[in-house]
Structure 1
Amino acid sequence: MKLELQKINETINAISNYIDQDEWSDALLGCEVTLNALDKYDKNSIVLKLYFNLAGHFIDVGTYLKNIDAISKGIKILEQNSEYFEENFNINFFYNLANGKLSLANDCGHSNERVNFKNIELFNEVKNLYWKTFKLIDKKQHYELYQQNLINLANVLKQQFRFSEALQLYNLVINQNTIFPQAWLNRSSCLEKIDELLNHRTNKMIIEIIKGYDFACESQLVPIDWKPFYLHKSRFLNNQLNSENIDQDEIETQKEYSSMSHFRQWCIVESLTLNIHGMYCSCIANERDNLTLFQNIISSTNILQYEQYLNRLKAEFSLMRLMLYESKFSDSSSHDFESGYSELNDREIINIRTEKLRACFRLCFSILDKLAIFLCQYFSLKTRPNTAFNNFWYDNKKILEEKENFALIAINSLICDLNEKNGQFGFYKTWRNSLEHHILFLVPDNFELSNDSTHTYVKISEFESSLLNLIQLTRSAIFSSVFAIVEDLRQKIPDDKDTSIEITIHKKEFNGFP
């Protein structure tokens, strides 16, 4: 006998109440009964809506109870009806499916296993779903979901060792005065991972880690039973600061930030510096791009040639960053007048400013492709005439995936994001090909797009926001490439390190022309 749909809807609401009251076993039983009842109906819009709500409950209950079978049932419901759910539930569909798959990947939050090349595909799938949600969500209309999705996306990036991007997203949410302690706590966790894997610890880092635990102690969203642990962590770390005043440190940091040039301040705000300290702090230590292969390294390898390669990449990144800055803050109208373009009423935005944006886009891929060669040279990998960032991994997959190197996980994750077939930013490569080999027009946001095989039209606001994201991805790739080489060098510390000769490399000074 069929249970009436009205009764099924009441049961689903009751399941929600069970969850709110922490009656998880009753909630799971209700889910099972409801699924059996729904399966007797032919699918229509009402039934599918009930299925969608039930799937979310299965995932929530399964995650809390560490019940893989329940989570899998929730995911199965979402995937079997994905076409309808994607069209009608959109961001909630992607978000719920991502949460379910992340729960499986993390063993319901209880896995101690790091992301590796055996499980990375599932994490990449989860990351894609959070990226989809991010690109579709209306921040004003779904503000809390917007923040929660950003936190979850940052968590996956952190798990894949993409530290610069994860911290960037945590900082974004925190600067919006979030109520969610997960942003602060996971930011602290990310900094602790940097300390662990990169042997990078400063007083400022300790202060920033403490802030996360202090926020959790004060948050009403943190269970009371958890707070003593966070309080213990905060006190333990405070004892390492030699009575340093955290409030005074904040004042000094702001004063140092204000003393820097407007350009450098902008680089810090937009997460465009090549400085590990700058991932989490805006003090004077972030005044220059001091990323190097030499920090805390003892090696018998001729590392100078690789540092020279890094210099070249940093120079191109610096040029690209400067052109983006000038496109935003410099007036090029007199140069545009002198260029004298023909008025064709085609609505293309053509001026020096947009040409700088286009040049920046090309430079990003130039840097990424050079990073591929950089890594191939260091790890003695196979290359070919068209070796590039998007293909060098697949030519050397076996060698790379045999290595236990956290930064190679990050690089693999970045490559997946830029994959033309299933990466969320694969269209960047399409744009790049249009810039290089066909014709790409930048047009006003109200322009009606009409692309073909040789002409690509992109709205100016979309191009600018995408360019900033691509530069931040490129920055992450530079960090990850350096970390990959440094980690490999650490694993190969020579036996005769006590008799090694120390080499000191100074930063170039630019007081004038040589």
Structure 2
Amino acid sequence: MEINIRLLKRIDSEKRNKNVGGLKKIISELENVDAENLKNKKKIILYYALECTYSFLSEYNKEDDFYDKRINNFRKSIKVIESLGSYKIDRDMNHQICHIYLKYANILDNCGRSNLAIEYYQKILELDSRNVNAKLDYAVCLCQYTWTMTVVSKNIEAIKYFAAKLFMEAFEMAKFSTIKEGNIKYYTEGYNKLIDKKIRDMKLDEIETRLIQAIILFDHITNNSNAEYVYRKWVSENCLFLHPLNEITTRTKEFSEDLCFDILHFKSMVKLDELNPFYREIFNEMKQTFIYCRLLMYEVITEELVDPHYGDLNTFIFSEDTNIKYSIKMEKLKNVFRLAYSVYDKIAFFINVYFELNMAEKRVSIKSIWKPIREKLNSVSRSPLLHGPSDNRGLNGLYWNSRDVHNINDDNEDPVDLELADADHTRNCLEHRHVSIVNKVLPNSNDQNKIYYISEEELKQKSMRMLKLLREALICLCSAVNLEEDKRKDNYKDNDIVNVSVYKDEWKI
């Protein structure tokens, strides 16, 4: 099968003719192509063509939106793009990359994964600062994102000004672009709905002034030590603060990194029973575990030891294989992955209680909460969370986030997240088997299944990826609860509201 632009035209033709059989035939042909023997640019076209075909097929299939297939093919395409040197990317290629990034960001936003979507909207604008569609979709994403934020109200005001700025710049650029009039009308309606009238009545220069005024700088460096400053700068640059704005502050010149700290918490909660303290306590524990893992990761990455750690001296650990690494540093690295992974089942435990799934505690896991529940031998009831209810962006985001860590369907299909394809296996080995961290994994070294070998660099990459996914999961969980609490306030107007208390850090000593 020839992988070229004519292929994309054939897909468009089958879509216009509503030929479902033709689309399925194209998918079958494309999935049988040996991608390894293709040049990089043709690989990008192959994966993009597969995504387009699944996207069109979803329009005629009410049972499946094929999000997993589409996300997987986007990621394969992006992996190839990121392997290209910038010198290999010409103007046409740059346009194609922006188009792929935009479609990927939009599908992430539709899945409720605003944090990850924001990252790709920003990448597009770094490649093409005059990309009208990216500015408009980014603005819509930000407006929806503010609905579930639990941050200082002035921060939300700043985001609204920033979204309005994106809208106004895009509308001005659209006058000189080829964007369709119908699309502009659609975004104009969104602008009028999402942006307050008092902001819409302002001119662009006034909005830019208000944006600067709305940004509050926080004195979060408590003891002004250089070590703390370096640590927080690393956290901010890697988007690891438990703060929904971290992605925005890190890559957007209008914002300051000083906005970032760990402020993620539930809003006021309707008191339906005596479990309110339980919800806060288990969420606090999950946050603290994440914060601990984050610090361990920082220490692993930044420690440059000339001599062994004093805790490793005189331990009489001996190995004839100089490729294997034993040290406290390696144990820290193992713990980052192991602990971050374990928080997911605590999230599932929380959801089971809070959303009243009534699953037996021993059956609760991040996989099981999304699955049908078998009550009797031949009786199956759908989990109320199956595939994430569409009216709760937080739960939708959490479902798709968990798909990156675990294969929910237990089938042999391609993993949604390419970096964590064997996360379950890695965790099981770390927890229950012998794991050797090595400088380099030798060919066929894992075939005998007695010892699991993994390179230090690979485990670092997986642990960092796991940390970032856990951060997103906690933000999604917080959003899901906040959206649910908004409903409960309407349904239980006579119940007491329990507000959040703010504590200083000194009580932790």
Give the TM interval when normalised to the shorter protein. Answer: 0.7 to 0.9
- 1:412 aligns with 399
Inter-partner Cα distance in structure 1 for 2:426 and 2:21: 38
Q: 2:120 aligns with which of 169, 174, 194?
A: 169
Matched, 1:92 2:55: no
Q: Which amino acid aligns with 1:398?
A: S
- 1:473 aligns with 469
- SS of the aligned residue for 1:291 comes to coil
Inter-partner Cα distance in structure 2 for 1:303 and 1:242: 44
Matched, 1:373 2:329: no
Inter-partner Cα distance in structure 1 for 2:282 and 2:267: 13
Inter-partner Cα distance in structure 2 for 1:81 and 1:500: 57
**Matched-pair contact (CA < 8 Å) for 1:59–1:71:** no
Inter-partner Cα distance in structure 2 for 1:227 and 1:377: 43
- 1:154 aligns with 105
- 2:368 aligns with 391
- 2:445 aligns with 450
Inter-partner Cα distance in structure 2 for 1:199 and 1:207: 18
Inter-partner Cα distance in structure 1 for 2:220 and 2:130: 28
* Inter-CA distance 435–292: structure 2 relative to 1 (3 Å threshold): same
**Match runs of 1:36-55 below 5 Å:** 48-49=1-2, 53-55=5-7
**Matched-pair contact (CA < 8 Å) for 2:219–2:258:** no
**Matched-pair contact (CA < 8 Å) for 1:68–1:104:** no
Matched, 1:280 2:234: no
* Inter-CA distance 206–451: structure 2 relative to 1 (3 Å threshold): same
Deviation (angstroms), 1:370: 0.6
Between Structure 1 and Structure 2, whose CA radius of gyration is higher?
1
* Inter-CA distance 60–336: structure 2 relative to 1 (3 Å threshold): farther
Inter-partner Cα distance in structure 2 for 1:464 and 1:147: 29
Matched, 1:300 2:272: yes
**Matched-pair contact (CA < 8 Å) for 2:394–2:477:** yes
* Inter-CA distance 410–278: structure 2 relative to 1 (3 Å threshold): same
- 2:385 aligns with 400
* Inter-CA distance 338–291: structure 2 relative to 1 (3 Å threshold): closer
Deviation (angstroms), 1:391: 2.9
Q: Which amino acid aligns with 2:429?
A: S
Deviation (angstroms), 1:293: 1.8
Q: 1:325 aligns with which of 298, 301, 312?
A: 298
- SS of the aligned residue for 1:344 comes to coil
Inter-partner Cα distance in structure 2 for 1:384 and 1:503: 27
Matched, 1:105 2:58: yes
Inter-partner Cα distance in structure 2 for 1:465 and 1:490: 38
Deviation (angstroms), 1:105: 3.5
Inter-partner Cα distance in structure 2 for 1:467 and 1:92: 31
Deviation (angstroms), 1:434: 1.4
- 1:135 aligns with 79
- 2:482 aligns with 486
**Matched-pair contact (CA < 8 Å) for 1:272–1:321:** yes
**Match runs of 1:426-437 below 5 Å:** 426-437=421-432
Deviation (angstroms), 1:245: 5.1
- 1:208 aligns with 162
Inter-partner Cα distance in structure 1 for 2:320 and 2:210: 59
- SS of the aligned residue for 2:400 comes to helix
Inter-partner Cα distance in structure 2 for 1:303 and 1:375: 13
Bigger proportion of residues as helix: 1
**Matched-pair contact (CA < 8 Å) for 1:62–1:69:** yes
**Matched-pair contact (CA < 8 Å) for 2:161–2:207:** no
Q: TM-score, normalised by structure 2?
A: 0.75
**Matched-pair contact (CA < 8 Å) for 2:30–2:50:** no
Inter-partner Cα distance in structure 2 for 1:222 and 1:436: 56
Deviation (angstroms), 1:451: 1.3
Matched, 1:218 2:218: no
Inter-partner Cα distance in structure 1 for 2:281 and 2:160: 32
Q: Deviations over 1:314-334 (max 9, x none)?
A: 000110111111222234454
Inter-partner Cα distance in structure 1 for 2:342 and 2:203: 43
**Matched-pair contact (CA < 8 Å) for 1:57–1:74:** no
Inter-partner Cα distance in structure 2 for 1:408 and 1:335: 45
**Comparing 317-326 and 199-208, the one that deviates more:** 199-208
Q: TM-score, normalised by structure 1?
A: 0.75
Inter-partner Cα distance in structure 2 for 1:188 and 1:82: 35
- SS of the aligned residue for 2:384 comes to helix
**Comparing 400-409 and 465-474, the one that deviates more:** 400-409
Inter-partner Cα distance in structure 2 for 1:269 and 1:119: 40
Inter-partner Cα distance in structure 2 for 1:250 and 1:294: 26
- SS of the aligned residue for 1:440 comes to strand
* Inter-CA distance 318–374: structure 2 relative to 1 (3 Å threshold): same
Q: Which amino acid aligns with 1:187?
A: Y
**Matched-pair contact (CA < 8 Å) for 1:275–1:289:** yes
Deviation (angstroms), 1:310: 0.6
**Matched-pair contact (CA < 8 Å) for 2:217–2:258:** no
Let me know the Cα RMSD of the aligned residues. Answer: 3.8
Q: Which amino acid aligns with 1:207?
A: Y
Q: 1:194 aligns with which of 132, 145, 155?
A: 145
Relative CO higher for 1 or 2, CA cutoff 8 Å, sep ≥ 6?
A: 2
Q: Deviations over 1:93-129 (max 9, x none)?
A: 112111232244368xxxxxxxxx9656512221122
**Matched-pair contact (CA < 8 Å) for 1:174–1:183:** yes
Q: Which amino acid aligns with 2:431?
A: E
- SS of the aligned residue for 1:380 comes to coil
**Comparing 247-256 and 76-85, the one that deviates more:** 247-256
**Matched-pair contact (CA < 8 Å) for 1:300–1:494:** no
Deviation (angstroms), 1:209: 1.2
- 1:264 aligns with 232
- 1:123 aligns with 67
Gaps of 5+ in 1: 1-47, 108-116
- SS of the aligned residue for 1:470 comes to helix
